[in-house]
Amino acid sequence: MCMRDKRENITDCDTRHGDATKNKGNKLKKEEKQRRKYLKAVSKEEKRRRKYLKAVSKIKKKARSELTNWSQYGYCLKDSMMDLGVDDGGSVLEIDGLGVSFAEFSHTIEKRHVPCLIHNLLKHWPAMKRWNSVERLMEQLKGVACKVGSDDDGYAVRMLFEHFVEYLRDPEHGKKDDSPLYIFDSTLVEKTTLKHDFIVPYIFSEDLLKYAGKSRRPPHQWMCIGGPRSGTSIHVDPLGTSAWNALVCGHKRWAMFPPGSVPEEVLKPKGVNSAARWFDVVWPKTLLDSWEYHKPLHVVQGPGDVIFVPSGWWHVVINLDFTVAVTENFCSTANFHKVFMHTRISRPKMTQRWLACLSTVRPDLARVGQQIINDDERCSDISSPSSSSTSSGGSSSSSDDENSASS
């Protein structure tokens, strides 16, 4: 080989070595860039996780300050907590919503104060497709602060929806807690696009309290979102209202008792402050032959079902899996008398405005309301000290008037 060929070979080797070194350097730079990107992502995720855990700790403490151990009963480990008769038909009347008119429902169900489970009312709701998963809900609720409870002073405790979803999936929180946090928010529908996804079922379309004025009427419509074991403990709906609950996703277990059928202290024993605790402590007693009170009506509500709860009925609800529902308390002709009697006492200013509006749109009900006021005032006059201090003849007359008013 000549000197020229040797020099060319050496040059080629140097070039290849240089290219290899350069490629190796580029590869190292690329790997270093990827490593830094990964570390940055990990750091970002760690910060996000710390922020979430801090929020959860603060929210749980504010929402239920009396609890120091959220999993003291170990309900997440008890299969029986969710095996509450999902496969049985229950004892609540079931009807097909497609085959009942507004008038028929009002006369045969509502005026008779009969709870019922209604099928086929929600098939036309866009919500049946848009609310049927966490991912779909996230499209509408990401970044929205949802009410998950109240603090000791009665103020709303709120949680970002994305934090709530992470909480539900967290093995140390939502999956473990005996009675997990539960979104029960009366402002969520109005302040988001959720309001476009449903309409009030036609058989519940008579909303008399709207005539009290939007700014004066009490909260009446709520979004309900929660995981297994969450729910609402035993209660009666406020102001004598009835309620409907439309379930879009998941399953709910209901137990209901007629007004006055069971003493309140029996239904609400001390220390039983959640649906999960009620179904663990009280529910088994109601199934015994030794239970001396009215047996509960019970049913499992599934996707697309609507529950009607009449005025005055005690009810408790537990979520058996991830559920999404909307519920509303309402006043109709059927329960107007009872609602008006409640609002006259607890919300007198609202009742005055309500009565004034009813005199125009529903004069028949306005007369009923005015009669309730007149009867109350007459009874008040009869029972006043000045009446009781009259002569015996006057007392006898007053007593007769009072008995007449009571009847």
Identify the residue with better confidence: 80 or 135.
135
Please give the average per-residue pLDDT across 258-277, as a whole number.
96
Yes or no: say if 121 and 306 are a contact pair by the CB < 8 Å rule: yes
3-state secondary structure of 223: strand
Q: Given CA atoms 288, 260, 221, 365 in this order, what sign does their dihedral have? A: positive
How confident is the model over 86-124, as pLDDT tens digits? 445 568 999 999 989 999 999 999 999 999 999 999 999
Res 338 pLDDT > 60: yes
**Distance between CA atoms of residues 172 and 167, nearest Å:** 9
Q: What is the pLDDT of residue 387?
A: 39
Q: What's this model's pTM, rounded to 2 decimal places?
A: 0.82
Looking at the chain, the whole-number percentage of residues with pLDDT higher than 90 is: 74
How confident is the model over 133-191, as pLDDT tens digits? 999 999 999 999 999 999 999 999 999 999 999 999 999 999 999 999 999 999 999 99
Yes or no: say if 202 and 122 are a contact pair by the CB < 8 Å rule: no
**Distance between CA atoms of residues 340 and 354, nearest Å:** 9
Which segment of 42-56, 93-107, 284-298, 379-393 scores lowest on mean pLDDT? 379-393
**Distance between CA atoms of residues 405 and 57, nearest Å:** 55
Q: What is the pLDDT of residue 2?
A: 58
Q: What is the pLDDT of residue 25?
A: 67
Domain ranges of the chain: 65-338, 347-385+402-406
The highest-level CATH class for domain 65-338 is mainly beta
Res 399 pLDDT > 50: no
Please give the average per-residue pLDDT across 64-82, as a whole number.
87
